[in-house]
Amino acid sequence: MKATPSATRRTFGHLPDGRAVEAVTLTQTNGMSATILAWGATLQAMLVPDREGTLADVTLGHATLGDYLASDAYFGASVGRVANRIAGGRFILDGEAYRVPANNGSNALHGGPVGFDRALWTIAAVGAAPQPMVRLAHVSPDGDQGFPGTLHVTATYTLTDAGELAIEYAARTDRPTLVNLTNHAYWNLAGEGGVEGAMDHVLAIPAEHFLPTDEAAIPTGEFAPVAGTPFDFREPTAIGARVRDAGHPQIAIGRGYDHNWVIARTRAAEPRLLAALAHPGSGRSLAVFSTEPGVQFYSGNFLGGTLVGKAGKAYRQGDGIALEPQMFPDTPNRPDFGSVRLAPGETYRHRVILRFGGES
């Protein structure tokens, strides 16, 4: 019997100051479901059927709010104001210098130490029809983490009957500011907590170029061809086949993959394919579509067994991989990369579609 589409709310936990953190679970007719937390507008669980129809949770995450509060891995979180790294935590906007506190060596990562992933968002809307959805809202005040302008942000998750989780980020500001939002889910299509990890997954990225980085993971500015390198995923390739190829200096620097692939040089009006992931053993697949021009592929290089997942297993190196649609890292300091500037009267929008499948 097919399930009835639904959107249900419950209390996931309480913050130290007593505020409740709710969880909303969206469920579709085939049993597929997504659970979103108000803490960090976080995708906490994603149940997807395999080729036999068996459901498994395919995204890494924690079972308790306390574990999320203690973690710095960004599992499933909505990150911002500016995803990825800003070199030195410094940028100039409209001739004025700003600084974001460093939280990744000397750099600012994912909006600084108290970014959107560390905020309790408000649940603004929940609905079951025509498709299960939840909209979360957050107000980032002027000067938050050093960024100018009061920013009003929403994150809308919709679970469709076509096997898709659609995420739309929107933002408006009262002063010129910077915005580059994304979701930081980690994927293991075999099921989180599985003993094999995600290195047997087959990945395709339709990009001719990637962005090499220095030893601090800041792009050098070069748009390097992927041809003839371990970064060539134009044909589907097992992640584990080249992830330890330390003969390539970029693999050695990143201890694996932690780079941005260049799908295009500008944003698109409609989501386009950024990456396709498949797990041959289960038949599960994931295609990532986005309106942004880049995708950060991170192969879980720094998962060191210190974080415990929902299945009660310690997450180790390679147990999950992230595919983060976004503008390019350090764009605020590199005009040739484009712009993440948002002005009053404009609306920032980033649309992501995560399309799941269970092929035979």
In whole angstroms, give the CA distance from residue 212 to residue 208. 13
User: What is the number of other CB atoms lying within 10 angstroms of the CB of residue 247?
Assistant: 9
Q: Look at the alpha carbons of 134, 143, 336, 339 in this order and tell me if their dihedral is positive or negative.
A: positive
Active site residues: 184, 324
- Pair 19, 37: CB distance under 8 Å: no
Q: Render the burial of 121-138: b for 16+ CB within 10 Å, e for the rest.
A: bebeebeeeebbbbbbbb
CA 153/CA 144 separation, integer angstroms:
13
Q: How many CA atoms lie within 13 A of 2 on its CB side?
A: 7
User: Which residues contact residue 249 at a Cβ distance below 8 angstroms, ignoring those fewer than 6 apart?
Assistant: none
100 near 108, Cβ under 8 Å? Answer: yes
